[in-house]
Structure 1
Amino acid sequence: MNLDLRSLRLGEAFRLLMRTRSLLILKMGAYLLFWFLALIYLAITIGIASLVAQAIPLVGVILFIVAIIGVAPLYQLAYRYVFFMIKAAHIAVLSELLKNDNLPPGTGQLEWGRKRVEKRFGEVNAMFVVDELVSGVVRAFTNMVYRLTAWLPGDTLQQLVNILNRIIRYATNYIDEAILARSFMRDDIPVWVNARDGIVLYAMVWKPLLMNAIALMVLSYIPFIVGFLILALPIGLLASVISSSVGGWSIIATLILAFLVKVAVGDAFAMTAMIAAYHRETREMKPNPEMVAKLDAASDRFKEIKDRAQQEINRYLAGREKAKSRPAEEPQGGEPVAGESTDQPI
């Protein structure tokens, strides 16, 4: 692998991120509230399970397992309807700052970003659907071109390869977000056309972008380590004052709070740097039809994105023909542009 951190311009990315610090604080607050409520939920359910276990041990164990497993769907629900909305607004704001270097005066970043998302996608849930499809295609293509195979002998080497593949898979999350940002950068192009072209452009220059994404994923854990080291002492002292029996809980609390710092700061910084790097790498590029064929072979989801993009193009062309058939009516404002590939869709 050839990792070049200089190409990421980390200083510029950090300054850009600091311009959206209100969203960072909001994001951390949302995660903190979720985990606070999750801990209350766990305390109540585990307490009930303990009481039941005194009478019927097997039922108590089952309730305990259900309580632990129940956190996952709660997190997924919160992610889709709260955390993703904040992330979507953050992507919209970062894209606007990269494109025009400022936001309209007198508007809050979250509210402006949310309205921007609704203007481009109709609603936040529609952006979530686009994100899911883009994520599937990016991962399928990345697995095709850069998946490390576990043919090496020995369980240890195979486990190492599996870990590296998971790292690569996780790193592609930042690429998904950069592709979504294209819809705010190129707001003259329909959403699905942007998604299609954005994936194709990533596939054309995947190597430097993937290497940068892996580097950013590693860097995103620095705030976690720093947060853990800073919080461990005061939380440990507080736990020792309360009771020596809560020492284990103090470690869990420290890990959760350090994770919040990682999510709010580390992931946000990685996302910001990736969006900027993707924008620089693909700014002057046009989608390559040959790469479309490779993506067709890599993922059925890409075909779905391509079909939706073609539907948008067809609607645009139909609207243009309808406008031509009524020359007496002057259009209000400029005619929308469907993208570079509207006349000859790839």
Structure 2
Amino acid sequence: KKGHSKGSQYRNKTYVPDYTLKQLVSVKEGLQHLMSNPKNSLLTNALIEYLKDAEHRISDFEMRQPKNKLEERQEIRVQQSRPMVQYKAPKEKKEIDGSCSMPTRLQRIMCEGICAGSFPGSGSEMLRALISSMTGIKTSKGIPQEDKTKNVYVSYKTHMPKRVGAESNCKLSRAMLLLRNPMHAIPSYCNYGYESSINVRNHQVQATPEYWVSCRDKNFEKWLAVWVYNVEYWVTKYSSNNLLLLTYENITNTNLGPENAMRLAKFLIVGKGVSVHLQDVPCVWKKVVQGKKGHSKGSQYRNKTYVPDYTLKQLVSVKEGLQHLMSNPKNSLLTNALTEYLKDAEHRISNVKM
């Protein structure tokens, strides 16, 4: 009759049950564990709300403590949630536009990072920015330490193997592969070389048509072979549970980008010492990948004055390389990406013949 659920009629509550900080942190970790392996979108939504409640209680708990006690509680919280040797509290997050926040300072924290493999020209720097913005932890271009207690980066960028038959210098147990259509990645790689040759900062100008043709004809066969080998290497070296596949085309797509950023975030938080505010991921993706102008940053960097082309022989080589990879499917997402790249190659071949 009073317009509320029976449960609230049964018991006259005289206090709000509370928890210790250690218990609240355990609740948070349990929820993050469940969210790291999503099975159901409704479940994920519910867990996000529970996680917000836990984080709110933790925040309230800390605010109620005297200063010296607060420092003690923070130390307990760090020890419980992350196997760190040292911890520096992050600076307060700065609001961007009221919808989400970004870290003002990135940290080095002992954590279980991942190898981030890609062929040059595939958007690896954009991906590094997205990863660090979601986690608040720095990424690296270097090699992970053999002593895991010295690994303080959330991801390690690598373009290796750089030749067919070689191995990557990243030996971690989990990895991701950023894939891009080779007919777009190769021109981007040539652009990088052109910018270096004229002492211009990366991602600013497109190579001249003459430079592109020279770079293409000099390197195409070798680079295409390495691109194909890179794909084979990563999908063979890692099981599907330990390898995340992302494509440049999807991560920069207005509709698919937020969804793929969420896949990346959930893959990252499986590692000890890594946390992400999942509710902020779509907004962070928009800030990092699309920027203020509402389109992918890659299209902002270089004003393109022409579309890089290929000879018929080169296009046929691309088609054969893609068909080779598709003949031994390792991953359904990989097959879908390769199918799109193959359609592009066949379309270009048709246009050249016409």
Is the helix fraction higher in 1 or 2? Answer: 1
TM-score, normalised by the number of residues in structure 1:
0.24
TM-score, normalised by the number of residues in structure 2:
0.23
* Bigger relative contact order, structure 1 or 2 (CA pairs below 8 A, ≥6 apart): 1
